[in-house]
Amino acid sequence: MTIDDFRPTKEVTTFYPPQRVLMGPGPSDTHFRVLSAMARPTLGHLDPVFTGMMEELKSLLRYSFQTKNMMTFPVSGPGSVGMEMCFVNMIVPGDKVVVCRNGVFGGRMVENVERHGGIAVVVDDKWGEPVDPQKVEDALKQNPDAKILAFVHAETSTGVLSDAKTLCEIARRHNCLTIVDTVTSLGGSPIYVDGWGIDAIYSGSQKCLSCPPGLSPVSFSERVTDLVKGRKDKVHSWFMDLNQLLGYWGTTTRTYHHTAPTNALYALHESLLMLSEEGLEQSWARHERNYQALKAGFATLGINYVVDEQYRLPQLNSVYVPEGVDEKEVRRRLLEEYSLEIGAGLGAFAGKVWRFGLMGTSSKIENVLFCLNALEAVFTDMGLKVEYGSAEAAAHRYYAANPMPSSFSG
């Protein structure tokens, strides 16, 4: 064989992705400022100019998480790596962990506990419902030797928001550390790491932060860093060992650990700067307002929500597919004819649910109106009875009656 025998059989040229409107469960649309930041000159990951930017990035993340935790930084990897980093550092084999499971990502937490040698005590709630604080209280009373409580704040598979403040209060009463998944909530829903007493938290860059996938913001309390420093056995992951990363993301040293994705970190820096410029409260209000307008339009199309209104994630709208509608065909036509991406249901919701994302840059008036008009057109073509223009009109009425607040007290 020759070298040329290993060439691709199909001619390969430069890849130019189509322009989509991303309104699924993630990723969200990336702002041109963030894309531009990624295209800047690459620096070495130990370059003093780059390490100066790292300090700014950590400061911006502390603002986003509302914490003073020194160990607040982005892990090189998607949100799943942030999740695993929390569990692998905090679990010593044999530790008992109470895990709340009300969707796909609570299930992944259970698997993490088991893979790292822990004993999972599972608190199950129905998909589409929030974690029940009383069930958690009961589980911790029945398992006084539990070391950790883990739960998903914003369950992406169902669009439900759980009461993180109350769950963390329960954990503290039982002397448990907490691990909280905020992959879909950071930047879109209120999170107060210090105010709620969260010990370990992780998120993702591609949801409400509107940065390309591949980074996972995390934050660890002093209780967690002390726990990891005091471990008698080594953390069962070299790459995710917090003791190792202290040398690179710490405050006084910049010891080589791995080649950090410098250009991706430029992008996260820019997206967090944009969030800071907008203001957290303003961002939360924008996500809520666009959800309400989308909901008003959905009502005219006979689309019903999975989650009770008081527990809904404004940035992740999980709705039932109307009876008699081919859910795959609707998603296909939206993508092919309108270049609009929405999400399908996962797990128990597969084939039954659509997930509409209104995250970060994707959460804007023009996307809400475009989505409603596209759905109306597709439904009409498929023979459903739809009053033409009613969905957009309903959204417009909501926007007119509910202007964005001009300022907040902070």
Please write the tens of the pLDDT for every residue from 103-148: 999 999 999 999 999 999 999 999 999 999 999 999 999 999 999 9
Do the Cβ atoms of 81 and 235 come closer than 8 Å? no
Q: Which residues contact 209 (CB under 8 A, 6 or more apart)?
A: 64, 186, 187, 203, 217, 268, 271, 272, 275, 360
pTM above 0.85, yes or no: yes
Mean pLDDT of 194-218: 98
The pLDDT tens digits of the residues spanning 230-272 come to 999 999 999 999 998 887 887 666 777 888 899 999 999 999 9
Domains, in order of start, for the chain: 32-276 (3.40.640.10), 280-401 (3.90.1150.10)
Alpha-carbon distance values, 70 to 59, 266, 268 (Å): 9, 20, 18
Mean pLDDT of 20-26: 97
Mean pLDDT of 362-385: 96
